[in-house]
Amino acid sequence: MVEKKSNEIKPKFYFDVCVDTMLPATLKYRILAETPEQAIELMKGKAPSSVHYKLVGKKDFLLKVFYSGSNMMKFIKRLLS
């Protein structure tokens, strides 16, 4: 019988993880991992490598207008559509 070595190094691959969000955008992560499940776990807490916006599908819920360079608010409008 052939015994497996217990300390074999598993090969790692680059995985592209794309996440569709409630924001009309797709976040894309490039993760180096051994399995797709591990890539999902390693993705958490990392910044995406690219963001693709879909501005056609956006919905505005709350608009806030500020004076430039200050924290004083000029106008608020709630949109319910």
In 1-81, the DSSP E strands lie at 13-20, 25-33, 50-53, 62-66, 73-78
Mean pLDDT score, 7-21 = 86
CB count in 10 Å sphere of residue 23? 13
Reported as a single tens digit per residue, the pLDDT across 18-69 is 888 877 888 999 999 998 889 989 988 899 999 988 888 777 777 777 776 6
The pTM for the full model equals 0.60
